[in-house]
Amino acid sequence: MIIAYDGSRYYGWEHQPDIELTIQGKLEGVLSRMTGKDVAVTGAGRTDAGVHSIGMTANAHIDCDLPAGQIQDYLNRYLPEDICVTDVSYVSDRFHSRYNARGKVYRYTCWVGNLKPVFERKYVYVLEKRPDIEKMRKAAAYLTGTHDFASFCGNPHMKKSTVREIFSISIVQKGDKIEFTYHGRGFLQYMVRILTGTLLEVGLGKRNPDSMPALIEAGNRQEAGYTVPAKGLCLMQVDY
């Protein structure tokens, strides 16, 4: 399944005990209703509370002989209006949304217009000042490639490797928006939001673009920039 959602009112992707409103929980509820059995849904990753998606991918093992299109219609009929399954297909029994993912694209959108974004306010982060895009691009060039991103990891108790590979970071101004697009093999918790906060500090002159190598080297979350708000973030695509 590919799933688009407005994460504004959800406690993130992953279902949790005693928490009703998660995307995974909503999908499992509707698929369980459809099949009459408990269904577990496996996502390509976990989006945090308030993060949106256009391209989240998830799989489930179900006993069902409905055509994929009918499953999609059923899901969209019973899911709330802020979740839409944009594609359903049958895949090999061995397919695993997370283990088979080869890359992900996240986009973080900032608003730099003079006026408040009345209609897009839930999908953008409003900046008071306009950051320097060329400086941010220079800093971003240091961040692409394979590095230990411990400085950009929001989980202080992370025990596994914090090495990740970023294929590309593009920073583009489109009208009143600046879009940061991150394509990588995988990302640590809050990593995209901390990268964006750090790049914005570069763009606003609070950091030097050339300070990125030392920041990576430090391996210390305290040295990186702030975590920008969840609402500007959207999972765009998962590669297989």
Active-site residue set: 48
Q: Which of 48, 29, 40, 150 is nearest to 97 (CA)?
A: 40
Distance CA 115, CA 126 (A): 10
Residue 146: which residues within 8 A CB-CB, separation 6 or more?
A: 163, 164, 165
88 interacts with a copy of itself by CB under 8 A: no
84 interacts with a copy of itself by CB under 8 A: yes
State which of positions 163-202 bind a copy of itself (CB under 8 A). none
Query: Taking a C-beta distance cutoff of 8 angstroms, is the pair 237, 44 a contact?
Result: no
- Shortest spacing between CB 160 and a copy of itself, in angstroms: 33
State which of positions 43-72 bind a copy of itself (CB under 8 A). 52
222 interacts with a copy of itself by CB under 8 A: no
- Shortest spacing between CB 77 and a copy of itself, in angstroms: 10
Please tell me the count of residues contacting a copy of itself according to CB under 8 A. Answer: 16
121 interacts with a copy of itself by CB under 8 A: yes
Coil, helix or strand at residue 163: strand
User: CB-wise, 42 or 76, nearer to a copy of itself?
Assistant: 76
Residue 133: which residues within 8 A CB-CB, separation 6 or more?
A: 171, 173, 178, 203
Q: Which residues bind a copy of itself (CB under 8 A)?
A: 4-6, 52, 76, 81-84, 86, 115-116, 118-119, 121, 123
